[in-house]
């Protein structure tokens, strides 16, 4: 008898393979028992499964190595260490070389650029700026002493000229600028005693590049030494 409203085919496949949730489903089994279409499908799936389970073994396409080579025998701890050393040697050596190269470039670049530009350009630029700042601060420092000596109008005039750029941009009045300028002046003037040489000295002392170069070389040497120690050599 062919009846409508067949269960989903996947449910029939589940029933064909004896899944418990399908075999315990009374509605499903009752339908299948009275439906030729579903019984036929289950029979076909059963025949298909039987044929699949009977598919023959297949001869290899090429001769296979049946026994692993001696070196792939169960690895000892030393072998494993050697394996790790061998695996990481090239990347670590390459990283060391890269770091060392960065160190070399970083170390050499400032002195090379210094030679290229010469004492006239680099030194002079800094010197000019420093001289201008020194001039400005001297003018500002002169203001309070002039005021103390009683030359108030002249002092106010010189102060205004010194603070003019600031006042123009930041609405700074001459009265508030005066004590600040007096306070900052001694520090600045002491800072500017060696305007050209001071920055060069500081940058040479704090340069990280030689350390980077050293770290890169140390990494390369370390990789070479570890490889030499850990990787077994052919005797």
Q: Which residues bind other proteins (CB under 8 A)?
A: 9-10, 13-14, 16-19, 41, 44-45, 47-49, 51-62, 64-68, 72-74
Q: Are 82 and 230 in contact (CB under 8 A)?
A: yes
CB closer to other proteins, 68 vs 119: 68
**Which CB atom, from 20 or from 190, has the smaller least distance to other proteins?**
20
Least Å distance between CB 75 and other proteins? 9
CB of 77 to other proteins, least distance (A): 15
Distance of closest approach, residue 11 Cβ to other proteins, in angstroms: 8
Distance from chain centroid for Cα 128: 40
Nearer to other proteins, 74 or 170 (CB): 74
- Asked if 130 and 196 touch (Cβ cutoff 8 Å), the reply is yes
Q: How far is CA 47 from CA 16, 32, 40, 41, 169, in A?
A: 10, 17, 11, 10, 94
For the bound state, the minimum distance from the C-beta of residue 43 to other proteins, rounded and expressed in Å, comes to 10
Three-state SS at 233: coil
Task: Using only the alpha carbons of the chain, give its radius of gyration.
Answer: 44
């Amino acid at each position: 008898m062919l009846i409508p409203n067949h269960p989903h085919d996947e449910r029939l496949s589940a029933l064909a393979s004896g899944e418990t949730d399908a075999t315990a489903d009374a509605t499903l089994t009752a339908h299948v028992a009275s439906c030729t279409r579903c019984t036929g499908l289950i029979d076909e799936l059963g025949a298909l499964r039987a044929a699949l389970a009977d598919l023959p073994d297949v001869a290899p396409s090429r001769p296979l190595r049946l026994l692993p080579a001696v070196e792939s025998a169960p690895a000892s701890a030393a072998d494993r260490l050697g394996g790790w050393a061998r695996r990481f040697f090239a990347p670590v050596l390459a990283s060391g070389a890269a770091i060392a190269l960065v160190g070399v470039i970083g170390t050499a670049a400032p002195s090379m650029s210094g030679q290229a530009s010469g004492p006239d350009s680099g030194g002079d630029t800094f010197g000019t700026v420093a001289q201008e700042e020194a001039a400005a601060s001297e003018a500002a420092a002169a203001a309070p002493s002039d005021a103390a000596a009683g030359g108030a109008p002249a002092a106010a005039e010189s102060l205004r000229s010194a603070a003019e750029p600031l006042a123009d941009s930041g609405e700074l009045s001459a009265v508030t600028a005066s004590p600040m300028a007096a306070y900052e002046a001694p520090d600045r003037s002491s800072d500017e005693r060696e305007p050209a040489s001071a920055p060069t000295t500081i940058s040479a002392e704090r340069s990280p590049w030689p350390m980077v170069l050293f770290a890169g070389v140390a990494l390369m040497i370390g990789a070479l030494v570890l490889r030499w120690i850990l990787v077994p050599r052919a005797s």
